[in-house]
């Protein structure tokens, strides 16, 4: 069957369902946790859940696609657009970008394309699910700040209204991102609590995206995409298991990479070694215990697995410049990076 060529406004009446790339005003009393259903005679069945919040528009879109379709969209938009592609395959071409976006399952990217027009090429006989986020560009600029080389470039492009994408191509959705995406898509809260929960999850997703985009390995071709994804799985594992007795052999088995690839890949992606990162997590945790609990230095040392409190004190001072007792007594500068 030939590919159907349609304009975006042929698919949906946007007076009833907001365009995902546009910011819209919240409607008081409107249902916020139910889907709007729509069937198009040629290209299948849609379900949308649209959440309008200050400075952002979040749309959970699910599309059971019947036939091949090419969707042309000329809707003007001066916003930041993020696509978390959860299922299905979407191939997009944007005016102003030098590269196309091949959006496959569990991939994401962020774009800014003030030039009009983009084309989506979609194969039929597939179920496509995505979470689309549009952000006011001034709000986005205010929250990222000029703290990374990546954000400095983005702010410069925004100032001159130059199109850009977070990276060339797409990036893997990490398990931590998937958890946040699931929280957004299944949120059952009502009223202000729902808005706060969704806003907080969206901001966490943006922070994780920037962490990925800023990683040195983004432009490094020595790691395959699936290997990079496994390195991010490993980091997520370390974030919750840093107090465990870890060995390189165990970590290698966990992420299904050889030990050399674990050591080299983690350093490439995050700019630090695996065990330097674990030490950073442990020392930051120790700092929180010393600052926020009534635990003694001996108790904190024991919680971190040190047999002798003196060994913990030496490690903590090496990391922070202060002994645990000094830190506990109020001389608490920010912990330095490993």
pLDDT digits (tens, 9 = 90+) for 184-234: 998 888 888 888 999 999 999 999 998 888 875 444 446 777 888 888 889
Q: Give the end of a domain, one of 214, 230, 253.
A: 214
Number of domains forming the structure of the chain: 3
Is 322 inside a domain boundary? yes
233 and 97 assigned to the same domain: no
| Distance from C-alpha of 90 to C-alpha of 19, rounded to nearest angstrom | 17
Of 214, 234, 257, the position where a domain reaches its end is: 214
Q: Considering the domain boundaries, does residue 310 fall inside one?
A: yes
| Together in a domain, 116 and 224 | no
- The b/e string for 132-142 (b: 16+ C-beta within 10 A; e otherwise) is bbbbbbeebbe
Question: Structural domain of residue 132, as residue ranges?
Answer: 4-214
Last residue within a domain, chosen from 236, 252, 271: 271
Q: Looking at the structure, do residues 221 and 207 belong to the same domain, yes or no?
A: no
**Mean per-residue pLDDT of the chain:** 82
Residues 89 and 151 in one domain: yes
Domain for residue 293, yes or no? Answer: yes
- Report, in angstroms and rounded to the nearest whole number, the Rg of the chain calculated over CA atoms: 23
- Percent above pLDDT 90 for the chain: 31
Comparing C-alpha atoms, which of 120, 104, 252 is closest to residue 170? 104
Task: Provide the pLDDT for residue 171.
Answer: 86
Q: What is the pLDDT of residue 1?
A: 52
In a domain, 197, yes or no: yes
Asked if residue 115 and residue 242 are part of one domain, the reply reads: no
Residue 290 falls inside a structural domain: yes
Q: Mean pLDDT, to the nearest integer, of 239-245?
A: 91
The whole-angstrom distance between residue 129's C-alpha and the CA centroid of its chain comes to 16
Let me know whether 189 and 315 are in one domain: no
CATH of the domain at 110: 2.60.120.10
String of DSSP letters for 277-311: HHHHHHHHHHHHHHHHS---HHHHHHHTT-SSHHH
- Same structural domain for residues 89 and 140? yes
φ, ψ for residue 97, nearest 5 deg: -95, 140
Asked if residue 103 and residue 180 are part of one domain, the reply reads yes
Instruction: Express each pLDDT in 114-129 by its tens digit.
Output: 877 788 888 888 999 9
- How high is the pLDDT of residue 12? 52
Which tens digits make up the pLDDT trace of 51-108?
Answer: 888 899 999 999 898 888 888 887 778 899 999 999 999 898 888 888 888 888 889 9
Q: Find all residues with CB under 8 Å of 89, minimum gap 6, and list them.
A: 102, 103, 104, 105, 122, 123, 126, 128
Residues 128 and 236 in one domain: no
What CATH number should be reported for the domain holding residue 299? Answer: 1.10.10.60
Reply yes or no on whether the pLDDT at 332 is more than 90: no
pTM for the predicted model, two decimal places: 0.61
For residue 170, being part of any structural domain is answered with yes
Q: Identify whether residues 156 and 62 lie together within a single domain.
A: yes
Q: Has residue 337 been placed in a domain? A: no
Residues 114 and 209 in one domain: yes
Say if 334 falls within a structural domain.
Answer: no
């Amino acid at each position: 069957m030939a590919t159907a060529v349609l304009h975006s406004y042929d698919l949906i009446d946007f007076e009833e369902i907001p365009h995902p790339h546009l910011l819209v005003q919240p409607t008081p009393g409107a249902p916020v946790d139910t889907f709007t259903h729509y069937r198009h005679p040629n290209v299948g069945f849609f379900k949308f859940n649209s959440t309008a919040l200050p400075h952002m528009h979040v749309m959970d879109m699910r599309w059971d696609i019947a036939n091949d379709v090419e969707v042309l969209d000329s809707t003007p938009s001066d916003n930041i657009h993020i696509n978390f592609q959860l299922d299905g395959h979407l191939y997009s071409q944007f005016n102003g970008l030098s590269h196309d976006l091949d959006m496959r399952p569990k991939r994401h990217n962020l774009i800014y394309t003030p030039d009009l027009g983009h084309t989506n090429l979609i194969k039929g006989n597939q179920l496509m699910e995505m979470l689309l986020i549009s952000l006011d560009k001034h709000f986005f600029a205010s929250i990222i700040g000029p703290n990374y080389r990546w954000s400095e470039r983005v702010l410069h492009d925004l100032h001159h209204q130059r199109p850009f994408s977070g990276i060339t191509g797409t990036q893997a959705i990490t398990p931590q991102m998937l958890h946040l995406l699931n929280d957004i898509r299944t949120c059952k809260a009502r009223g202000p609590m729902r808005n706060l929960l969704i806003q907080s999850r969206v901001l966490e997703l943006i922070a994780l995206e920037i962490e990925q985009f800023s990683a040195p390995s983004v432009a490094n071709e020595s790691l395959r995409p699936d290997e990079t994804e496994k390195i991010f799985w490993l980091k997520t594992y370390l974030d919750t298991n840093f107090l465990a007795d870890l060995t390189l052999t165990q970590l290698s088995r966990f992420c299904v990479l050889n030990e050399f690839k674990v050591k080299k890949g983690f350093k490439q992606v995050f700019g630090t070694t695996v065990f330097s990162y674990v030490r950073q997590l442990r020392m930051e945790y120790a700092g929180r215990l010393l600052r926020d609990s009534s635990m003694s230095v001996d108790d904190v040392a024991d919680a971190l697995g040190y047999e002798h409190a003196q060994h913990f004190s030496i490690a903590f001072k090496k990391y922070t410049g202060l002994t645990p007792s000094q830190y506990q007594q109020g001389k608490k500068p920010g912990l330095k990076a490993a």
